[in-house]
Structure formats: structure tokens, C-alpha cells
Amino acid sequence: MFGLMKKTLTGLVGAGLALGLTVGTAQAEYPEKPITMVIPLGAGGSHDLNARVITSIIPTYLNQAMIVRLTPGAGGQKGTQEVANAGADGYTLLFTHNYIDQLQQHVESLPYNPNEDFVPVARINYAPIAVVVRGDSPYETMDDLIAASKADPGGIQMAHSGNWGALFVPAAQFMKALDMQWNLVPYQGGGPAMQALLSGDADVTMGFPSTLAGQIQSGDVRVLATAGAERIYDDVPTFGEVGVEGDVGFMHRVVLAPANTPKEVLTKLEEAFAALAEDKTFTRMMGRLGENVDIINGEAYQAMRDEQFGAYKVLVEQLTSQ
């Protein structure tokens, strides 16, 4: 029996070595093979949906497929680390958002350094968040809510999508800026948080206007304030107008690449994303998803990243100091 095994094994190993020794050809045009886009979040979320649209259109500009690989876990760290460790050849990209990218490092110790290990390729879009209450709640304006919150510290239930997530951070910023206390109750994502609001378990939550359109129209929810410099709804004040200044409540969806990716590769990618911005089918599909398209290239976004780094550092220090 051992003779047989030895022969078979030797044969197979020999074949393997022969193949392994086949030297690859010289550096041809990027991309030569499909590109993997890693998403450090779970399936079905807005990132996933955005990515599916991107990866179904961008191959026409890259002449190679782009495959989505979902790697959720450890609050986004698993997928991020995977890309940090991957080869800097442009075949593995990370599709993430600013809270994971710049805020997390101030909250826990990460096995990578977001600013040293990654360079931005393109920011796809951003989503401003809004404070919402139920349509039949007694709070007609943001001021009503603030007054009620101050009168009853910790009595108002706020549903958020997870610690340090896209709903939690603006909420904490609100509480800090307006000197009031909400009772923060976690839910498994924006969807369950909204459901909690509608069922009465929560008094206030936050949501992205794109997903709220149906409920706003039917009157099930009322928007009290929105993020951004300009009003999204005519009769709803912005965060700045109600007293919460600064870069609050924006989730930027951004594509990152490992730090040492060659310049030609990055340029090619940036061109492809720029072309995506002009693509009619792309804008149409994103519009259907309720997302905007505001593609800015890597350099421009890097400036924003630097800003975020400083701002989040201060924010976390302030929030956790007591």
C-alpha cells in the first residue's frame, strides 16, 4: 500500500511543482484578471446593494469583472485587515465607510493603521442622516424634542444601529452639543431601529432620507432635523440650525486600496470610477436605490480623511472622558 501511495503522491507533487515553476509573464496591462472588492459588512446592507450596482457596471470600463466579497466580523475589522494584508497590486480593494475607516481606531486597538495601510481610490457617495420621530408623537419640532429630553434625562428612548455606528455617533454628538441625555438602545442595524420606532419601543431614531421616503409620505414618521449645510426638506432645519455644528451625520462610502499600490493601477481605477459617475445606467440605478452619486477621487477624499481623523479623535475623547 505504501508503494502505491508513494507513487501517487510523487506523481502529483511533481505535477504541482511543474505547474508552480511556470513563470508568469511580464507585467501586462492592469487589470489582467478579476478584481475583488471586499466589504467588511454583512449581506443585504446598503453597502452591499451599492456595491452590486457598482460591480455590475464598472467592468465595462475596466474590461475585467469586479467581484464582491463580503467579510463581516469584528465590527468591520476582519474585512479591513484582509485587504491590509493583501498584495498591493490593485486586485483587492476595500469598500467601507468613514466610521469604520477613521473613527474605529480611536475606540479600540486595531491590527492595522487605517492611514498608513490604505490609500483612498474614490468616494462613491455620501448619505446624510436625519432625526426622525413617529408621526403621532408629541414632538412637532426639534426644539420640542430637546426640551423634553432635558426635562427627562435618559427617559427618551433612542434606537441606534450599534455602538459607534452611523446612528450612534450623531446621537452622541447631539447629546454632547445640546447637553441632554437619551437612553441609547442598540438594534441590529438601521432597519430594526426603524421598526422599533414604528412599534413604539423607541421614541426617536435616525435614518437616511432615501430609505424614509415612503414613511414620510404616509405620515408614519416625522423628520425633525437633517444633516448637511442645506436643508433637504424645506420645512426641516439642518443640524447646524438646531445647534449641532460641524461634520455630523454623514456616512461616506469610499473605496480604499492597500497603501503601496502602484500609481498606474490607482490612476486606472480612478479613471474607471470617474467614468462611472458619467454613466447613465449607473446614475439611474443608484437613483432607484435612493442614493446620490458624488464620486470624488482619492486625493480629494484624502483631505477629508485627514479632517475626520482629527475630528473623531476629539469626539471620542470627549464622549468617553467622563
Site for another protein in 301-320 (CB under 8 A): 319-320
76 versus 249: smaller Cβ distance to another protein: 76
Residue 248 DSSP one-character state: -
CB 129 within 8 A of CB 244: no
Residue 32 exposure: Cα atoms within 13 Å on the Cβ side: 7
For residue 125, CA distances in Å to 45, 59, 273 come to 15, 19, 12
- Report the side by side order of strands in the sheet with 118-128: 66-70, 35-39, 92-97, 250-258, 118-128, 296-297
Please tell me whether residue 288 binds another protein under the rule CB under 8 A: yes
Which residues make beta-bridge pairs with 207?
A: 130
CB 128 within 8 A of CB 228: yes
Smallest distance from another protein to CB 121, Å: 20
CA–CA gap between residue 43 and residue 221 (Å, rounded): 27
Residues 169-208 that bind another protein (CB under 8 A): 172, 175, 181, 183-188, 191-192, 194-196, 198-201
105 versus 238: smaller Cβ distance to another protein: 105
Site size for another protein (CB under 8 A): 82
Extract the C-alpha cell encoding 54: 457598482
Smallest distance from another protein to CB 293, Å: 15
Please tell me whether residue 155 binds another protein under the rule CB under 8 A: yes
Q: Which of 88, 107, 177, 232 binds another protein (CB under 8 A)?
A: 107
Smallest distance from another protein to CB 304, Å: 25
Smallest distance from another protein to CB 224, Å: 19
Among 216, 92, 83, CA closest to 224: 216
Residues 243-282 that bind another protein (CB under 8 A): none
For residue 309, CA distances in Å to 6, 96, 110, 312 come to 58, 15, 15, 5
Please tell me whether residue 113 binds another protein under the rule CB under 8 A: no
175 versus 242: smaller Cβ distance to another protein: 175
Q: Which span sits near another protein by CB under 8 A: 103-111, 142-150, 243-251, 260-268?
A: 103-111
Q: Which span sits near another protein by CB under 8 A: 13-21, 143-151, 235-243, 256-264?
A: 13-21
Please tell me whether residue 56 binds another protein under the rule CB under 8 A: yes
